[in-house]
A and B are shown apart, each in its own frame.
Chain A
Amino acid sequence: MVNIEYLTPASPEERKKYYREEWDIKQVPEYIVHSIQEREFGFDHIGRGPNDRYKVFQTPDLLKRFLKVRTPFAAYCSVAFYDKPRRRDRWTKAELVFDVDAKDIPIRTCECEGVCEICLNEAREIVLNIIDTLKGDLSLENIHIVYSGRGYHIRVLDHNIMSINSDLRSQIVKYVVGAYVPENEYSLDFEKVSYEHFVIPFGYPNVFTKRFKYAILHLNENSDLDEVNKKLLKDILKHRQLIELENWGMFKNKIGPMRYRKVLKGIASMNMSLIDAKVSIDLKRILRLPSSLHSMVSMKCTEVKNIETFDPFDDAVPKFVYERK
């Protein structure tokens, strides 16, 4: 496992070394290779963003040649499929993507400047939670995880949702991250009944309960939540072990019902920042190409085969970094 201090920007020579000696077209995931002719590729040659866009490769060999010759600072590929990708014309479908960037997670238990082992692990937890909902509630299949260099991309290629529009993607995002406070009062014919989210072990209330628990257990005294003042935050931290023990009713009582609603609202609003929602609703987004080099941090954007055992500081470090020691 490499020390994070070695993960400094890659030099042009290191990029050459990576693409010419280490990178292999076989590392590009099958789901991209199979649809290579339908996707747009984009490149950043000098480290100022992907301004070499609208590239198309008819075969994997042509992509291979391009990368080995140009050794770009960064390589990207569209989540969208087109009949005419060179002009981004005749959009046919797009993967549904969730971008979890460790450095942008609103509640991190670490205090690092960029990313570190702790926040990357927290990003992984968020990814697992999202995937759990995508598979369980929404029954989506063909889900892939990619380590992006600073976090994770969840890429869903389920044929049932690849042609959906941005509005539906936005609804899915809000559902899986837990961006709404669930109802707690329901009207029956002659009475009103109250069910807090934590007594409903299914559907969206259950998704929200899981996200809520994650958030509460990752708060610290510097956390900033809408509607939650310092005193309330202090009380949450004081009593949160009750949630760890699934003693929800007691936690709510300790906090007080009115203040509990404030916490729910604060967490729901914060949950929208767990992922970069702009990426999820963009039907023509280009994402870092799995297998390519994230030159800024000298890490490989890597397809994750097994998230349980994946260690970015081992599995996503190019060989040239070890030679820096």
Chain B
Amino acid sequence: MVSVAFINPLSDEGKMIVRELGEFNGVLSENDDLMNIVTKSRSQEISNDSFIPRSYFDLALKRIEWYAKKKNDRNFEHKQYDFLFNQDIIKFDVIAFYLLCQAIGVKYGPNSRESRVLVESQGKLIENRLSKLSKTERNLIVTNILNSLLSSTHLKWTFFEDLISSKKLKMHELILDKGEIILEMDDFLERFSYKIHGRKPEKMYEALIGDRIKEQVMIKMVMQNTENYIQQVGERSHREIEPNPILLELADKISEVLISSVQTFGKGGSSYGISIKASALNPKSFPPCVKKVMEGMKSGGRNDAIIMFLTPFISYARLYPSVFSENITKQISDVDPTLSIIQNEILPLIFGAAERCNPPLFEDQPQDKVNLNAKLGFGMHQHPELKNEGETTWYTPMSCEKVKIHLPSLCKPDETCKKIGNPLSYYNRKLWAFKKEMKNISNNKDK
């Protein structure tokens, strides 16, 4: 049977592995056993040395790289990371996991982008590892881990306070009754079978709860515990005088891995060959509808114009102009990790436009700042903060079609408008033309 620590490194078994390692310093050294396991993994690609982690330190980075590339790289090659699914790697994998938690906890803390990526990667890794097991083995390990994580068979929904409030578990997807979350079939049948008519209660249980929800609860609990552990490490590190330099070095490397994996701008480009990179905004290239909103709106439609229309446009134009050609979902912190561009460039522009409305939007309706943050993906909060990112979706810019329906007074098309279907495409096209013109002028001067 698969080891518990392979799925839940924070288990007693996982902790035992960490205790057995003892010395911390060896994590940088080349480890023949590790390389041996990696190269012998069934489908592992070994044509390039860089695919093979040589130490615990390397393995930790590969763990993060696997997730970041899987998420962001369209050319992601699973075979380069097959070793992560080889159960023989367990001892090394657990140590790598703890190294990551400690490095991120010490340097970035629990509310960082790095922490979020690690927690998400752990969840995804568990899902992928479980998917490679037989149904029986999978059920067994999930039940085994759940039993160790849950102290009682009567599960009060409030026990999952953290998981529900962080939306790792969705309250409406759980079956709640008399304050308890129903996970077991016997419990389900006892409570509900007499109410179910014309359908098999057992099948309904399998569909609504079954292994799917149990597995989800187990995975999310491990993710939450990972987050809690990072927080503990962070708190402990504040009391210590100097963190281990190896952890600081690993933390820097993690950040590098994340940055390089999302620096995909310019790779794809649009269908007409425009290389679109995130760069400072050029208001001269804005389409007529955006220019109109930037001048300020009158009372009717102010709200939609600033919150629904302008906010997504400005944020994507500045941070992720190639969203439609790349077609990869991102969060703002993927492209603006410290939110400095949001704070210093994007919000001032939007607030300026809101100020120019008659009457000024936020003076009149201050609660709309919360809605603005929601459209940027930072949930229903007063200020954009990393810890809240992902609560809502970072809205993509409205298409011309939608602008015509929701804000018809804005649509005063010019010649370029005829060639595009979204104001963001207008901006990219104009920006590209503008840069080309600048380049030609510069070339002519050189001549």
Contact = CB atoms under 8 A, between A and B. Distances in A.
10 contacts: A137-B177, A140-B179, A168-B165, A171-B164, A171-B167, A174-B171, A175-B171, A189-B135, A193-B207, A204-B175
A195 B165 contact: no
Contacts of B175: 202-204
A199 B199 contact: yes
B191 interface: yes
Interface stretch (A4-12, A75-83, A179-187): A179-187
Interface stretch (A116-124, A157-165, A218-226): A157-165
B195 interface: yes
A203 B208 contact: yes
B195 A139 contact: no
B405 interface: no
B176 A203 contact: yes
Given A139-B180, A195-B207, A203-B177, A168 B164 contact: yes
B172 interface: yes
The 10 closest A-B pairs by CB, nearest first: A139-B179, A186-B207, A168-B165, A167-B165, A203-B175, A204-B172, A201-B195, A137-B176, A180-B172, A171-B171
Nearest to A201: B195
A234 interface: no
A258 interface: no
A138 to B, nearest CB: 6
A200 interface: yes
A172 B171 contact: yes
Contacts of A202: 175, 177, 191-192, 195
Contacts of B208: 186, 195, 200, 203
Contact of A138 (B172, B179, B192, B380): B179
A140 B170 CA distance: 19
Contact of A201 (B182, B196, B212, B391): B196
A167 B167 contact: yes
Interface of A: 136-140, 160-161, 164-165, 167-168, 170-172, 174-175, 180, 182-183, 186-189, 193, 195, 199-204, 278, 281
Contacts of B351: none
B176 to A, nearest CB: 4
B311 to A, nearest CB: 20
Contacts of A281: 380
Contacts, number: 84
Nearest to B158: A160
Interface in B136-184: 156-158, 161, 164-167, 170-180, 182
Interface residues of B, number: 38
A195 B176 contact: no
Contacts of A140: 179
Nearest to B208: A186
Contacts of B177: 136-137, 202-203
Interface in B207-251: 207-208, 210, 212
A187 B208 CA distance: 9
Given A174-B172, A201-B195, A193 B203 contact: yes
Contacts of A160: 156, 158
Contact of A167 (B135, B166, B210): B166
B405 to A, nearest CB: 13
B134 to A, nearest CB: 12
A170 B199 contact: no
Nearest to B391: A167
Contacts of B156: 160
A263 B173 CA distance: 20
A180 B397 CA distance: 24
Contacts of B343: none
B199 A171 contact: no
Contact of A278 (B135, B158, B199, B367): B367
Contacts of B172: 174-175, 180, 182, 204
B208 to A, nearest CB: 7
A201 B204 CA distance: 11
Contacts of B191: 202
B78 to A, nearest CB: 23
Contacts of A278: 367
A195 B158 contact: no
Nearest to A160: B158
Contact of A171 (B165, B178, B182, B206): B165
A207 B1 CA distance: 41
A120 B178 CA distance: 29
A170 B380 contact: yes
Contacts of A137: 176-179
Contacts of A186: 207-208
Contacts of B182: 203
A204 B171 contact: yes
Interface in B270-312: none
Nearest to A137: B176
Q: Which one of B161, B192, B379, B391 has the greatest number of beta carbons of chain A within 10 Å?
A: B161
Contacts of A136: 177-178
Contact of A164 (B165, B180, B198, B210): B165
Contact of A165 (B165, B174, B180, B367): B165
Contacts of A175: 171-172
Contact of B161 (A139, A164, A195): A164
